[in-house]
Amino acid sequence: MKVTFYGKLAAMLGTELELAVETPCTVASLRTRIAEAHPEAAKSLEDRRVRACVGSTLVADDHPLTASDEVEFLAPVSGG
Amino acid sequence: MTIYVRLEENRLDPREELGALIDQAAGDGAIVSFVGIVRPTSGDSDQLEKLVLEHHPTLTGQSLEEIAVAAAQRFDVSHVRVVHRCGEVQAGEPIVFAGAASPHRRAAFEAADYLMDRLKTEAVLWKREEGAAGTKWIEPTETDYRERGRWE
């Protein structure tokens, strides 16, 4: 599964990761899977303000994912 | 009613933005604008060279639009204008312009205040400071979230 990161998550994990993930799964289990593989980023990934996005739509942690989904994780945002 | 939103990669001149809003607002009684400027020091008082704002190809524009539309719907305003920089913004340069025009002043004040509270906490941008002390990612502060909460 292709996973893309933005903000400080991209700085920690790289912009893109290709992960072997058992599907179907949920956004929450994908988050856990990435955190296990990259413990240095676990705390940042588990931040409740980190949002997931599939097909340019923000999705909740229980959103179901298939192998063909591309998931984006957005670090906490700040403008102004 | 007009809503103007722009994500600007190169140059933001607040004088031009205010001028455009004034031109649009013929017949209104009030215009309020806010200009955010990159401070020359970071939150830790270190010398700051620049801010770098990363954006998302679709969600950033959508978020700016959604915030501007919400302000227009919530307050009795005639025009809303939001221009936000992305990319590298040097210390001393404008980073955001948020303005509103309305028949009476209160709505324009409140709309500009609301726009900024939401932009600080919800605009899909990732901001980092770069300076002598290295790189630091900036996230909304507790104060930013509390001020956003005033509008719930």
Q: pLDDT at position A9, please?
A: 97
Rounded mean pLDDT of B115-131? Answer: 96
Residue by residue, what is the 3-state secondary structure of B84-126? EECEEEECCCEEEEEEEEECCHHHHHHHHHHHHHHHHHHCCEE
pLDDT tens by residue, B54-111: 999 999 999 999 999 999 999 999 999 999 999 999 999 999 999 999 999 999 999 9
A70 touches B at CB < 8 Å: no
Whether A3 contacts chain B with CB within 8 A: no
CB crowding B125-143: b at 16 or more within 10 Å, else e: bbbbbbbeeeebbbbbeee
Smallest CA–CA distance from A5 into chain B, residue: B56
Search chain A and give the residue with CA nearest B96: A80
Interface of B with A (CB under 8 A): 36, 53-54, 56, 58-59, 62-63, 84, 95-96, 116, 119-128, 137-140, 144
- pLDDT higher than threshold 80 for residue B43: no
Crossing angle of helices B105-122/B59-74, nearest 10°? Answer: 150
Which candidate in B67, B125, B126 is best for mutational testing of the A interface (most A CBs within 10 A)? Answer: B126
Q: Which chain A positions have a beta carbon within 8 Å of B59's beta carbon?
A: 53, 56, 58, 74
Which of residues 23 through 62 in chain A touch B, CB cutoff 8 A? 49, 53, 56, 58
Identify residue B38 by its one-letter amino acid code: V
Q: What mean pLDDT comes out for the span A17-39?
A: 93
Contact B95 A80 (CB under 8 A): yes
Residue B133 pLDDT level (bands cut at 50, 70, 90) = confident
pTM over 0.90: yes
Between A62-76, B39-53, B104-118, the lowest mean confidence (pLDDT) is in B39-53
Strand pairing category for B30-37 and B94-102 = antiparallel
Over 90: is that where the pLDDT of B44 sits?
Answer: no
Tokens of B4: 């103007």
Statement: residue A32 has pLDDT above 90:
yes
Q: Out of B58, B116, B125, name the one closest to residue A78 (CB).
A: B125
Cβ distance of A77 and B125 shorter than 8 Å: yes
Is residue B42 scored above 90 in pLDDT?
A: no
Q: What is the ipTM of this complex?
A: 0.92
With CB atoms and an 8 Å threshold, state whether A79 touches B96.
Answer: yes
What confidence category does residue A33 fall into, taking pLDDT thresholds of 50, 70 and 90? very high
